[in-house]
Structure 1
């Protein structure tokens, strides 16, 4: 009987927990929030009950408090925050890397705390694409600049091209010389807030082959100019010789 009654009570307890989670009275874990340096970010509370008092903290330090209809911000957030006393939402402006961390909101009207983990990212640059001919294969590498080192674990790479190799999400892929070297290969670097794309044509990766077409055209153009200039000079010399012979005949 004891085991049976315990099993019967379990669904009831789980049901209560689910209701508390649904209406925001219990906070389990931190919500991940992402912002960009020099821009703004908002922690959304969207409370369903009127809030008489609000206290936001970063770790153990106070960020802002609202009490008796008075708002007080604390350093280093003075003149950089906006608090909605109705919803409890907090907005931080002009983000810096030092703003990263765990934020908590407390209110006597809400059981437990609302917690957020803030990640501050740099503006995402376009990825660099390099390639080389290695052991008879074309290696194409896509990566961000080494100066972009903020949260590399949040950066993902993807490729776009008609070939099978581009279905693999990695920083490097390989092609064969028999593949279509005229194809344009695109690489996209992305994080939770942005994505940037760069591209490269495969034939530019093959020495003495990738640029051969352009080289032949350039050589042909140079030869054409040389031949044209030579012909003009020969023609002009012929005219001068003829004029000299005519002058001699006339003088005789």
Structure 2
């Protein structure tokens, strides 16, 4: 019994560990399955809700909110969703009937925003030390990565500690899986009285 649970766990883990494919809001989402043969039935769902159903003997049925937003290739079962919204994120499942063969495909999609230009602020710790804070607006903060660079040195964190003797220019790069933006800051602006 324990062995069966372990096998089932690993099968479920393999399915759920599927890579996420990212798209920017407003882009077209293309889901391209690899199938051999001409489909008799195509069923696409999103989070368990129907997106489009097509049978060779019937008209194609498209379900809200996908009316006028999808293109279904009936020969390949490829699905294109126009003008992606954040609500289009999630799991898309495809079931295709080709003669007696019924393959199943799953695509994990996340629609994200572009990184906006970061803002750098200086917070004084004491008379000789300060912290540079790099921040940006995002609907998906968990996907953001921060990188500071100066004179060939790099550090990955949203905050960076500097000292009063330092007058370097620091660049902060903020990125998500699809876009990035940078801003720069002169350390001497943290310590105007020392100059």
Aligned to 1:203: 188
Q: CA deviation at 1:197?
A: 1.0
1:160 aligned to 143, 146, 149, which one? 149
2:131 aligned to 125, 134, 139, which one? 139
Q: Which has the higher strand share?
A: 2
Structure 1 stretches lacking a partner, 5+ long:
1-26, 213-252
Q: Supply the RMSD in Å over aligned alpha carbons.
A: 2.1
2:90 pairs with 1:101: yes
| CA shift digits 1:5-29 (9 cap, x unpaired) | xxxxxxxxxxxxxxxxxxxxxx934
Contact (CA 8 Å) 2:122, 2:133: kept in 1 or not?
yes
SS in 2 for 1:131: strand
Q: Distance in 1 between matches of 2:69 and 2:112?
A: 18
| CA shift digits 1:196-225 (9 cap, x unpaired) | 11111111121324xx5xxxxxxxxxxxxx
Q: CA deviation at 1:77?
A: 0.1
2:115 aligned to 124, 128, 131, which one? 124
Q: CA deviation at 1:87?
A: 2.5
Q: Distance in 2 between matches of 1:80 and 1:124?
A: 26
Structure 2 stretches lacking a partner, 5+ long:
1-13
| CA shift digits 1:77-118 (9 cap, x unpaired) | 011011222322211112222222211000123544211122
Aligned to 1:15: none
Q: State the structure with more CA Rg.
A: 1
Aligned to 1:178: 165
Equivalences, count? 177
What is the TM-score normalised by the length of structure 1? Answer: 0.64
Q: Which has the higher helix share?
A: 1
Q: Distance in 2 between matches of 1:184 and 1:90?
A: 48
Q: Distance in 2 between matches of 1:160 and 1:80?
A: 43
| CA shift digits 1:54-74 (9 cap, x unpaired) | 110012211012221743211
Contact (CA 8 Å) 1:66, 1:72: kept in 2 or not?
yes
Aligned to 2:6: none
Q: Distance in 2 between matches of 1:184 and 1:82?
A: 49
